[in-house]
Amino acid sequence: MAAAHPEVKTPAALAAQPPDYRTAVEKIVISHAINELYGAQVFDEVAVAFAPTPYWKWLTCRVAMEEYGHHVRFFRLGREIGIAEAKMLPQSAAKRPLSIFERPLRSWEEFCIIKLVADLAEIIQVEDLLKCSYLPLRAAAKATLPEEKFHAAFGEQSVKELIATPEGKAKAQAALDAIFPSMPAFFGAADSKNNELYRRFGIKFRTNREMRDDYLARVKKVVVKLDLTLPAA
């Protein structure tokens, strides 16, 4: 269980916190800024061309706009606390993106599955910041969560349409088989020192293992609902 920590309300108050606390906040902000931008560039923007109808192009454009907006939200938060711009931009940052972003998007079916399973993982990560002791980060998570829920709902709606035909269902299953096995790694090592630090300062509240177990239970439920088979992680 996360330790209690006094609420830190402003960037000025953050500057007065111990170095480990400031570093912990900065790591989370940098991670979100980089990975939200990677996702928008590598998947969401590319998917507009793959979308099969004007309706799905319109919804995909909305998803892309919101993902870019998430980057802007965390980027601004980072600048407010003194994080250099270069640390939050993928082309110049030393931090590697999540491994899922290192594979090119190859089809509409892959995009639909990514929205279904990857955005659910992001929802769980964001949920764990809703009681964050650094209030501006808590506010950013609160603003981001409804949009991430929409993206996961987009995934479910689009996959439901795909599986209406045998050919579409086969393509959806193939995409799930290709993408899902790497998803549990999204939550990091069970013995993560960073996660231990986050919980000690009341920035996050669950261990990586707890979040991963929650994710596996939720993703299995939605995949079974869609009559697909969850491959081994």
Residue 39 has pLDDT above 50, yes or no: yes
Report the 10 Å Cβ neighbour count for 120: 23
CA dihedral 205, 207, 209, 214 (to 10 degrees): 0
What is the arithmetic mean of pLDDT over 67-80?
98
Task: Give per-residue pLDDT as tens, 81-110.
Answer: 999 999 998 765 555 666 677 788 999 999
Task: Report the first-to-last Cα separation within the chain, whole angstroms.
Answer: 27
Task: Give per-residue pLDDT as tens, 169-192.
Answer: 999 999 999 999 999 988 988 888
Whether the Cβ atoms of residue 44 and residue 64 lie closer than 8 Å to each other: yes
- Tell me the residue ranges of DSSP E strands in the chain: none
What is the model's pLDDT at position 153? Answer: 97
| Model pTM above 0.85 | yes
Element (H, E) at 61: helix 54-80
| Band of residue 1 on the pLDDT scale cut at 50, 70, 90 | very low
Residue 161 has pLDDT above 70, yes or no: yes
Locate tokens 């996959």: which residue? Answer: 159
What is the arithmetic mean of pLDDT over 122-137?
97
3-state helix, strand, coil in the chain (%, to 5): 70, 0, 25
Q: Which residues contact 123 (CB under 8 A, 6 or more apart)?
A: 145, 148, 149, 152
* Selection from 73, 64, 92, 80 nearest residue 33 by Cα: 73
Whether the Cβ atoms of residue 136 and residue 77 lie closer than 8 Å to each other: yes
Please give the backbone phi and psi of residue 183, each rounded to the nearest 5 degrees, phi first. -70, -40
What is the model's pLDDT at position 5? Answer: 83
Q: How far apart are CA 22 and CA 123, in angstroms?
A: 24
Domains located in the chain, CATH noted = 11-225 (1.20.1260.10)
